[in-house]
Structure 1
Amino acid sequence: MKQTWRWFGPRDRVSIDDVLQAGVEGVVSALHHVPTGAVWTPEEIARRQRELATMADGAPSGLGWDVVESLPVSEDIKKQQGDWRAHFDAYRESLRNLAAAGIEVICYNFMPVLDWTRTDLAWRLPTGATCMRFDLVDFAAFDLHILKRPGAADDYDDALKADAAGRFAAMSDEAREELTGNVVFGLPGAAEKMSLEDVRGHLAEYATMSEETLRAHLVDFLSEVVPTAEELGLRLCCHPDDPPFPLLGLPRIMSTEAHYKAVMDTVPSPASGITLCSGSLGARPDNDLPGMMERLGDRVHFLHLRNVKRETSALRGSFYEAEHLGGDTDMVALVEAVLKEEARRRRAGRADWSIPFRPDHGQDILDDLGRRAQPGYPSIGRLKGLAELRGVMRALEPRIPA
């Protein structure tokens, strides 16, 4: 398991010096400033590689750019409208440029409109730490009373609608504005930020799209880019929906093991794989993360290891970002399944036997509370999680047959 760390570039409040002191072996990054649908040029890729390879005093960090997260898929591709065919060409060209730079693992997602959704980016825990949280009542209040989405009332039962109405009535104008900003926060570090009108416009265009149609569009996307990935020796890996259940009337196609298996079976190329995010998938009680790693592990190209605590047993419910070993996912069992998959790959002679992972998200603790880093990406909280994961790895490794 190769230890990596997500870095958002020179504007990240967590510096390359901090990353290096965390003791990681590689960096996960992206060209967040490049608009979705545009080509990632060799010059911009090389600039990012130089930035992460250099410490503040000019000394070499010794770190390389191991994983791209993310090379975003445009809404035009997901909806198959507008400039979607030109965006296929741009995506393939970006893949060629990344391969020429020596980068082999490319993470992406196929979530419509919102790349991930939280209602609170700094929810206070009893310890004084803060974390990200999804509150279903707050989200329903946003959907029904702020966004005012047509047909939204049909998606919630009477009790939840009553709770949402009461929650909204009790909010100040500032609280309503903060909730709106949190929900439409979007892809971490991305160049584009959406307004409510942008969201409404996208939702109107998705209004008649079924889960089957969106899945077909994902398969079409893969049919366009996987041959290029195969030619270049790249490994594409799709991140799951976050949260892994329908929101805003939008279809979800990467929320369960069945979803992933359907796409992997339809596009059987090893170049098309999975980003197994234990936090995103773990927000659903019917997702068995260790089992998914065992059954789908040969197509897992990248791992996000984090944990969430579900506040209900329902498939759709509130949850918050827990400590890495403290949520509802059995992280020890998941890491054991990963190590067993790596051992299988070594025995099979696979060059990609070591699966890169990063400690995903983290609670803001200690000095994190004043640093105001990218939401979900504090330095000390992630370092704490990485230390816990390292301990699990060290304890399990001698027990895994070579």
Structure 2
Amino acid sequence: MYIGEQLIEPSDARLRLSAQLGCRGIVIDTRPAREVIEPDGSWSPAKVAALRRRIDGFGLRLDGMALDVGAILLDSLRAPERAAATAARLRQHIRAAAEGGVPLLKYTVAMVGITRTGVVEGRGGMQCSTFRAADYRPEADARFSYWGTVLPEDGQGGASPLDAKGAPETCGQVMATEAGAISEADGWRAIEFLVSELLPTAEKAGVKLACHPHDPAYPPGGLNGVHHVLGSLDGLRRFVALAPESPSHGFNFCQGTIAEMSTRPTETVLEAIREFGPQKRIFMVHFRNISGGYLDFREAMPDEGSVDMAACIRAYREVGYDGILCPDHVPLSDLDPGRERFFSFALGYTRGLLQAA
């Protein structure tokens, strides 16, 4: 195992910092992928290869890129012709990634973004994104949820996600009130469509598709009629069962998201590691923590939350996971507007756990 980062359009200076912090791998999280995209929306294999070589030049490795699936899931239910066109474009992106030497593409099954209900103050005044199902209101969803790569409002008068509504960076995600009812059957039908459309191409190209589960788990009956079917371990098991023999079908294993599925976050994360690790379904890891659990949590720095992170490191080692550990979802602060300090702290903490283990 080793530490790495997810970066959006990193400058040379930012890549130098990653190298100096001890990172080995980089996952490019730019959505849409402006570094490699052509005017017609296709990816250029030559540009992918150039991006990989650029990252190699800093002593780092391009472990993967984000595959922006846009609104394909919702479109598969509401506008099937548009979904089919998007699937064709995504298949080209997968082939281009393979030609350019990228072994992994991560994607999310979020249709309505990453739902949050507010911000609470953490240690030293940092601002921590929170989700309390009992506090859910559509107007809070609009202000405090993550949409694509757009961050939530910081609770101190900062930019609102609504300011970016409809922008490419929202990755086709909408508010739950805009999505209309999405039943459990609808949710599975959309995911099955995506997997069936993309996985054969990924298998042929030798690319791993790393799925980020639904964040957060929703209560029984959903929110605003929207169900999150990948919001439980049973949901993750059913997802794996869609292609049980495929080496390209697995997870962007977000510890925070899995912790959010349970009132016993450490036990649930360890159970998931010990189940999906031996199956080789953990393709990359979002090594992050939360304080709280199912339907009531706040995001936290990795050293202060409810999950025993050292136990998780030991579990990854036990199951033979040897891939990247990326920090994710650190709190916000006016002292660290670019979040470089907080991500650096998270990287150092993770490196220390690896050395101690």
1:385 is aligned to 346
Superposed CA RMSD = 3.4
How many angstroms apart in 2 are the aligned matches of 1:223 and 1:120? 36
* Aligned positions of 1:250-329 closer than 5 A: 250-268=226-244, 269-286=246-263, 288-297=268-277, 298=279, 299-310=281-292, 315-317=294-296, 319-329=297-307
Residue type matched to 1:316 in 2? Answer: L
TM-score (norm 1): 0.72
Matched, 1:71 2:67: yes
Conservation of the 8 A alpha-carbon contact between 2:253 and 2:285: yes
Q: Which residue matches 1:57?
A: none
Runs of 5+ consecutive residues of structure 2 not aligned to the other structure: 144-152
Q: Output one character per residue of 1:280-329: Cα deviation in whole Å (capped at 9) or x when no partner.
A: 2212324500111001112111100100112xx6x322x22212132111
SS of match in other structure, 2:125: coil
- Which residue pairs with 2:115 in the alignment? 117
Structure 2 vs 1, CA of residues 229 and 128 (structure 1 numbering), >3 Å: closer, same or farther?
same
- Distance apart, 1:118 and its partner CA: 3.1
Query: How far does residue 120 in structure 1 lie from its aligned partner after superposition?
Result: 4.5
SS in 1 for 2:102: coil
Structure-1 residue corresponding to 2:211: 238
User: What SS class does the counterpart of residue 253 from structure 2 fall into?
Assistant: strand
Highest Rg: 1 or 2? 1
SS across alignment from 1:16: helix
Structure 1 position 247, deviation (Å): 3.3
Residue number in structure 1 paired with 2:146: none
Evaluate the alpha carbon distance shift between residue 96 and residue 330 of structure 1 in structure 2; reply closer, same or farther with a 3 A threshold. same
Indicate whether 1:181 and 2:160 are aligned.
yes
Structure 2 letter corresponding to 1:215: W
Secondary structure, in 3 states, of the residue corresponding to 2:330? Answer: coil
Is the CA contact (8 Å cut-off) linking 2:301 and 2:331 kept in structure 1?
A: yes
Q: Secondary structure at the match of 1:79?
A: helix
Which structure 2 residues correspond to residues 69-148 of structure 1 after superposition, within 5 A? Answer: 70-80=66-76, 81=79, 82-114=81-113, 116-120=114-118, 123-136=120-133, 139-140=136-137, 142=139
- Give unmatched runs, 5+ long, in structure 1: 54-59, 148-173, 343-352, 397-402
From the superposition, tell whether residues 175 and 354 of structure 1 become closer, same or farther in structure 2 (CA, over 3 Å).
Answer: closer
Q: What do residues 360-393 of structure 1 show as CA deviations (whole Å, max 9, x unaligned)?
A: 23245xxx634422xxxx1121221222222222
Secondary structure (helix, strand or coil) at the match of 2:291 reads strand
Contact 2:63/2:104, CA 8 A, preserved across alignment: yes
**Residues matched between the structures, number:** 332
Are 1:120 and 1:179, in contact at CA under 8 Å, matched by a contact in 2? no
Q: Partner of 1:247: helix, strand, or coil?
A: coil
* Alpha-carbon distance in 2 for matches of 1:381, 1:38: 34
The change in CA–CA distance for 1:185 and 1:326 in structure 2 (over 3 A counts) is: farther
- 1:369 corresponds to which residue? 334
* AA of the residue aligned to 1:252: H
